[in-house]
Structure 1
Amino acid sequence: MIENKKCSNIKSFKLSALATSVAVVVGAFSAPVSAAATFESDNGWKAGFNGHIPIFAVLSDFDDPRDEDSFNITTGFNPATLQTNIHAPTQNGLEVSGHFQMNADIAPGDADANFRSRVSEIAVAGNFGTVNIGKGFGIFGTPGIGDNGSALGVGLITGPDEAAATAGRIGNGYFYANFTPRVMYSSNNLGGLQFKVGLFSPSKVDDDNDDVEYSIPRIEGNVVYSADMFSLWSSAFTQDVDSKAGTFDDYTMSGIDFGGSIAVGDLNVRGNYSMTSGTGNSVFAARLDPNEEDADQWYVEATYDINRFTVGASYGEGSDDIGVRDGADTLVRDEKETDLTMVFARYRATDALTLMAEVQDYSTNDVQSSDYSAFIIGSQFTF
């Protein structure tokens, strides 16, 4: 029987490398985690849960061709999240644990379609490092995704009727790692140096195209070096896309990124640059792309802490050689370009409640999309 032996100190519950990486991605690094409920049995089994509930009010003004003002109440870049962790007793030097994450947007009238699991994994840790088996967050693009502005905030709004999770800096600063079934190895800390490598289920470019086949897994990896005042990272991936009947040329999706952060007192500056081929600048398998068009993106961000306040600003751009076409599918520009400016503030009202404000300005040369500006206020309960 599992009894509640401690429900106040998160340090009493040892998270695996998977749980730690997920916490970083969902923005726990940028707001205090007040507590995690933990339970422990007499024979050494441990269980616990933690998570967050973010809610934002978004007032936006979209230019042509949409030409629309909009007000929405929505989650931010991260939906409401409940993380459950179960640890078995350590045996033969192995720490075995299971991790489950459920996520919910607040789309009006469509709650069932927006309640889903993004993490369901087994983690096996020892003096060799950690192996994760199951569905979890990717490697390419992390930790560049961990910017303070969009990780805890809203970021890119895809349209006036946004109701699900927003897009953060996807396509305007970083490539999205996404949640995918995988087998991943994470090294222990080697004097500040850590690395990851994993085999992932391939992302499909066209579910309705029977000619596309994926005979080998996608390979992703990263390396991170962290010191007291700075951190440096780089990651890469590759995935083959093949044609069974030869209706298109076989090609390879690939990417690489570089980034870093530095902290001097209460000032933190970070940046990231990524290049991809054959997949666009947003997500894996964004399109069937046998010409392997190039895309890139970057962002820089600065934040400053003043007691319980954090203020910050960031700017990022994205470009894609796929080009821009009009409604008649005529090529208008050789390159699609976007940029997103964000200014934001956080106030830690309590250890569990963070109040937030965000101002955005977005522009694009895509004739089928709209420039917009937005003012956002919100709050997040972290538990």
Structure 2
Amino acid sequence: MIKYNNRWNIYPFKQPALAVAVTMIAGTFAAQANADMTFESESGWKAGFNGHIPIFAVMGSYDEPTEEDSFTVTTGFNPATLQTNIYAPTQNGLEVSGHFQMNADIAPGDADVNFRSRVSEIVVAGDFGQVNIGKGFGIFGVPAIGDNGSALGVGLIGGPDQIAATAGRIGNGYFYANFTPRVMYTSNDLSGFQFKVGVFSPSKVDGASDAEYSTPRIEGNVVYSSYMYSLWASAFIQLVDSKTGTFNDFTMSGIDFGGSVSWDNLNVRANYSITSGTGNSVFAARLDPNEEDASQWYIESTYTINQTTLGVSYGEGEDDINSSANDTDLTMIFARYAATDALTLLAEYTILGTNGGQGEYNAFSVGSQFTF
């Protein structure tokens, strides 16, 4: 039995590989892992926390359905985040830890409804690899979501009345992995290759009261990384059945592939994905027994000069349901400046185009992020 000791030491330390991996899996793409403020007992238990606070001023000019100029102060694609990490002493070759993350959007007025937990999980690691048990980030669409533009910035805005976290490149470059209860296995590094596979609680289709979900969603990916480049591919499948036959049973599925390459201070990354039966944004976006196809892709280039990163990206989303009026494209031009290890200043200009004209806008955002 492990005896607790009331004597604790407090010190900052660089996160171990496990903590960094968990942070990235949890969707904390907003900055490179900095430091975990950690307490350690004499018995070997550790407790620490880390997170980030991103704040943006967004000035947008919106077209249909209502022409409107708007100013708001909000979070970007990532909400403000506090993650708590508990590490047990290593026993029998097992590193066991618990991770709990709270997230808050920043909005005018009362934003209590947007204070929530995205991550609550147990992580078990050893010579066999790593197992994540509980609620956390998905597998399909990762690491495409880690682009420098939207992951660190604003990206897609819901409109002039945006009050919650923005949408990055969801539906205009990649399909969103989302946070879902699951059991997920991650392999060790296999000469540059690493794979993940997991069983997930199925996502339920809005408004489909007759639907039943008797099997889990299955997701998996494989990533190859080297000094200069990285390649990845992922896939998922989920069945949606009708209890009484009011709609045809159908399958949600998807596949994506992409990569990034770095040469000195230049980085280029791209991703392409195809989904069926769920739209081009998130799981179970609609009742889709006809299994209409959708696709998303983007390409991004960044260049770093000392503490400044300059970038541009372009991506599109297409959806076969109804008409091409659902097709969109998103252009992003952005700059980041690392004022200190903890403070990043950000600027971004985005343009959303739509085939139907409705919802088009252009916006300029300036902001800062404190990472701890």
Taking structure 1 as the reference length, the TM-score comes to 0.93
Q: Say if 1:311 and 1:344, in contact at 8 Å, map to a contact too.
A: yes
Change (3 A) 1:322 1:339: same
- Distance, in Å, in 2 between the alignment partners of 1:14 and 1:55 is 28
Which residue of structure 2 aligns with residue 181 of structure 1? 181
CA contact (8 A) 1:26 1:152 kept: no
Q: 1:327 corresponds to which residue?
A: none
Q: Which residue of 2 aligns with 1:146?
A: 146
Q: 2:135·2:180 contact (CA, 8 Å) conserved in 1? A: yes
Alignment of 1:97-246 (within 5 A): 97-206=97-206, 208-246=207-245
CA contact (8 A) 1:322 1:335 kept: no
The 1-side partners of 2:221 and 2:132 are apart by: 15
Instruction: Give 1:104 shift.
Output: 0.2
> Are the aligned partners of 2:25 and 2:136 in contact in 1 as well (CA < 8 Å)?
no
Residue of structure 1 in register with 2:363 after alignment:
374
Q: Give me the whole-angstrom Cα distance separating, in 2, the residues matched to 1:65 and 1:43.
A: 62
User: Matched residues, percent identical?
Assistant: 71
Q: 2:13 is matched with which residue: 1, 4, 9?
A: 9
The match for 1:27 is: 29
* 1:159–1:3 distance in 2 versus 1, CA, 3 Å: farther
Per-residue CA deviations over 1:90-147 (Å, capped at 9, x if unaligned) read 1111111000000000122232101000000001111001111100000000000000
Deviation at 1:17, TM superposition (A): 3.9
Gap change, CA 1:335 and 1:57, over 3 Å in 2 = closer
Contact 1:32 / 1:352 at 8 angstroms: preserved in 2?
Answer: no
SS of alignment partner, residue 19 of structure 2: coil
Q: Does the 8 Å CA contact 2:325/2:356 hold for their aligned counterparts?
A: no
Matched positions, count: 368
Q: Which amino acid aligns with 2:77?
A: F
Tell whether the 8 Å contact from 2:195 to 2:220 is kept in structure 1 after alignment.
yes
* Counterpart residue type for residue 228 of structure 2: M
Whichever residue aligns with residue 380 of structure 1, its letter is Q
Task: Indicate if the aligned counterparts of 2:325 and 2:354 stay in contact, CA closer than 8 A.
Answer: no
Are the structure 2 counterparts of residues 4 and 43 from structure 1 closer, same or farther at C-alpha, using a change threshold of 3 Å?
A: closer
CA distance in 1, matches of 2:34, 2:215: 43
Q: 1:40, 1:130 → 2: CA distance?
A: 23
Shift of 1:32: 4.5
Distance 1:65 1:181 in 2: 37
1:337 aligns to what?
A: 327
Within a 5 Å distance, the mapping from 1:293-304 to structure 2 comes to 293-304=292-303
Corresponding residue SS for 1:150: helix
Q: Please name the residue that 1:350 is paired with.
A: 340
SS of the equivalent of 1:8 reads strand
SS of the counterpart of 1:288?
Answer: coil
Task: Compute the displacement of 1:60 (Å).
Answer: 0.2
> Residues 112, 262 of structure 1: CA spacing in aligned structure 2 closer, same or farther, 3 A cutoff?
same
Alignment deviations for residues 334-381 of structure 1 (CA, whole Å, 9 cap, x no partner)? 5621000000000101110000000011111235x3210001100000
**CA shift for structure 1 position 209:** 3.4
* Separation in structure 2 between the aligned mates of residue 268 and residue 282 of structure 1, nearest angstrom: 26
Structure 1 residues 271 and 244, CA gap change in structure 2 (3 angstroms): same
Aligned 8 A contact 2:186 2:197 in 1: yes
Is the 2:8–2:42 contact (alpha carbons within 8 Å) kept by the matching residues of 1? no
**Which secondary structure does the structure 1 equivalent of 2:145 belong to?**
coil
Unmatched 5+ stretches in structure 2 = none
Alpha-carbon distance between aligned partners in 1 of 2:273 and 2:300, rounded to the nearest angstrom: 15
Question: Distance between the aligned counterparts of 2:6 and 2:170, measured in 1?
Answer: 41
Give every structure 1 segment of 4 or more consecutive aligned residues whose post-TM-superposition deviation is greater than 6 Å.
none
CA contact (8 A) 2:56 2:75 kept: yes
Instruction: Classify the secondary structure of the residue corresponding to 2:134.
Output: strand
CA distance in 2, matches of 1:225, 1:13: 18
Partner of 1:291: 290
Alpha-carbon distance in 2 for matches of 1:310, 1:73: 23
Are 1:2 and 1:46, in contact at CA under 8 Å, matched by a contact in 2? no
TM-score norm. by structure 2 comes to: 0.96
- Asked if structure 2 preserves the Cα contact closer than 8 Å seen for 1:4 and 1:38, the reply is no
More off after superposition, 58-67 vs 306-315 = 58-67
Q: CA RMSD in A?
A: 1.5
